[in-house]
Structure 1
Amino acid sequence: MTPFAGKTYWLVGASHGLGREVARQLDREEARLILSARSEDALQELTQELRHATALPMDVTDTNAVAEAARDAGPLDGVIYNAGAYEPMRTQDWDSGSVLQMSDVNFTGALRVLGEVVPGFVRQRRGEITLVGSLAGYRGLPASIGYGASKAALISLAETMRYDLKGSGVTVRLVNPGFIKTRLTVKNSFRMPQLLEPEDAARHVVAAMRTRRFRTDFPRPFSFAIKALHLLPDLIVYRGK
């Protein structure tokens, strides 16, 4: 018997990359999965592969669609928010449409989903919330307009929820990956340190879900370097800028 056996998880952002691999690994652990993303075809293909999964197509930027999907999902033991949008962009190349899309998917979409499930978790005094952030949320980085800010907001949200829900019976987890080889990171033209395959990154996420630990940053030592950069004074970080 695994810690996931018989539990129902709503995995938002399941159609590709990290989310797809998390679904596969939780399915092998006998979890019951409700899989959401915008791509209905990709979800249907994945559910046919898995044993305990149901497709629930949904656009996290549509408030009514999220509310309807939450009703259709029914009682839950946990929610995993992994929906993500990314476009590398420098401030000089500002594209408001792309910036707002990243913010709406990466952060505001999480607010919509959590607004539907957290009150029920609080009432029943149990439930698991796993938010997939990014190491990019720890410090403003070059060419990260939209993405870095939205992930920083998600990190702040998780930290606030951790304070508020202490002792409530509701578990809050924040998982911050580094670079993962996906259709999003293929857009990068720079070298990505310790680039992970989706299967390896998913193992980190599922391992984090086995515990009640709040924060999981990976991979090491890249995560240590990013967090060290976060602690450096601005005078050093922006020296000569």
Structure 2
Amino acid sequence: MKDWSKKRYWIVGASAGIGLALAKKMSEAGASLILTARNEARLKEIASTLPNEAEVLPMDITDLNAVRKSVKSLKNVDGFVFCAGEYWPMPAQNWDIKKLKSMIDVNLIGALHTLDVILPVFMKKNSGHLVFTGSLVGYRGLPGALGYGSSKAALVNLGETLRYDLKDTAIKVQLINPGFVKTRLTDKNKFKMLQIMSPEVAAE
């Protein structure tokens, strides 16, 4: 991992999985961080173990008003990493609108809500780094991935569109599409996942 010293990054979804692994690696590489998830106690625990400065900024990213209250903490931020995710395996035969909407709310609407506060900051100073964790399922439908696949397809489109729209600025847009990563989300799967990787490998 490159040298992140003197860089300040906001990681959304930092309490587990790829977000947590990334927070550890970036902190070890010199970055100062803002850690966001719903669980404040968990974030404080993580922050206390990191070698560099880490601010805890708990919030429910599905609540736009809650997200907008965070603006004061987002000054002097160099980058934004969206790793938040919710997943429920769901074939069409087990349609559950509540879980479907919940996946959309976290995986897509949560990204829009957090972009609502960080994108204007980057636009104003004409610099920044936007990183979105998509998924290969965002490119092609897979069995039993109704809500997750739909939300990730929209997130992939969002990232690609932002990249085109911002190509003449100094704002870099990056879209990461890992395969299967062993997290609390993939632990819900009952099928064999080929080439599954650890969050630490994915964070590289």
TM over 0.5: yes
Q: Displacement of 1:73 after TM fit?
A: 3.0
Specify the alignment match of 1:171 in structure 2: 172
Does the CA contact (< 8 Å) of 2:74 and 2:118 recur in 1?
Answer: no
Does the CA contact (< 8 Å) of 2:35 and 2:54 recur in 1?
Answer: yes
The secondary structure found in structure 2 opposite 1:54 is strand
Q: Displacement of 1:119 after TM fit?
A: 1.6
Report the residue type matching 1:141 in the other structure.
L
Specify the alignment match of 1:38 in structure 2: 38
Specify the alignment match of 2:147 in structure 1: 146
Aligned counterparts of 2:78 and 2:3: Cα–Cα separation in 1: 12
Aligned counterparts of 1:167 and 1:132: Cα–Cα separation in 2: 23
Aligned counterparts of 1:149 and 1:70: Cα–Cα separation in 2: 29
Larger Rg: 1
The secondary structure found in structure 1 opposite 2:69 is helix
Does the CA contact (< 8 Å) of 2:3 and 2:30 recur in 1?
Answer: no
Structure 2: stretches of 5+ with no match in the other structure: none
Report the residue type matching 2:192 in the other structure.
R
The secondary structure found in structure 1 opposite 2:6 is coil
Q: In the superposition, relative to structure 1, how do residues 94 and 165 fare at CA in structure 2: closer, same or farther (>3 Å)?
A: same
The secondary structure found in structure 1 opposite 2:10 is strand
Does the CA contact (< 8 Å) of 2:34 and 2:55 recur in 1?
Answer: yes
The secondary structure found in structure 2 opposite 1:160 is helix
Specify the alignment match of 2:65 in structure 1: 64
Q: Displacement of 1:167 after TM fit?
A: 1.7
Q: Displacement of 1:6 after TM fit?
A: 0.9
Cα deviation code 1:19-48 (max 9, x no counterpart)? 110000000111010000011121111001
Specify the alignment match of 1:18 in structure 2: 18
Matched, 1:157 2:158: yes
The secondary structure found in structure 2 opposite 1:171 is strand
Q: Displacement of 1:93 after TM fit?
A: 0.7
The secondary structure found in structure 1 opposite 2:72 is helix
Aligned counterparts of 1:36 and 1:141: Cα–Cα separation in 2: 30
Matched, 1:129 2:130: yes
Report the residue type matching 1:201 in the other structure.
A
How does 1:75-94 map onto structure 2 within 5 Å?
75-94=76-95
Matched, 1:116 2:92: no
RMSD of aligned alpha carbons = 1.0
Aligned counterparts of 1:79 and 1:124: Cα–Cα separation in 2: 15
Q: Normalising by structure 1, report the TM-score.
A: 0.82
Cα deviation code 1:108-140 (max 9, x no counterpart)? 110111111112211211000000111110111
Aligned counterparts of 2:3 and 2:69: Cα–Cα separation in 1: 29
Aligned counterparts of 2:71 and 2:138: Cα–Cα separation in 1: 27
Q: Percent of aligned positions with the same letter in both sequences?
A: 48
Aligned counterparts of 1:104 and 1:145: Cα–Cα separation in 2: 14
Aligned counterparts of 1:59 and 1:181: Cα–Cα separation in 2: 24
Matched, 1:6 2:17: no
Structure 1: stretches of 5+ with no match in the other structure: 204-241
The secondary structure found in structure 2 opposite 1:72 is helix
Aligned counterparts of 2:120 and 2:25: Cα–Cα separation in 1: 28
Alignment: residue pair count: 202
